[in-house]
Structure 1
């Protein structure tokens, strides 16, 4: 009797998973057309990349300083 119960539980679980996935797909479809992308961001990509590069250098420097400070504080 355990095998039919596990089979029933598996079939109900898969049907509920299918319903959730179909709901998430239906909810995700109207979002992309709601935001039209203008043509302007294409030339500004270079400035965004420069900002990302500088921010990564700043973040790397901060992580080095923080790890050094934590190591010094932990050793004392």
Structure 2
């Protein structure tokens, strides 16, 4: 299964990061929020929906062997 981000979702995220940048007093955080907003806008203007592969299913396995005496 994969996740798809629509252009609308990408633009909403960009707006959210612009609002966060405007609300913070931390210059490093503001820079990061502006960069993230720019990246979301870039993805949205590419025109195509972005498809992310789903993470692999976790299947932990524990094997126990008895040691010879």
Higher strand share: 2
> Larger radius of gyration, structure 1 or 2?
1
Q: Which has the higher contact order (CA 8 A, sep 6+)?
A: 2
TM over 0.5: no
**TM-score under structure 2 length normalisation:** 0.32
Higher helix share: 1
**TM-score under structure 1 length normalisation:** 0.29
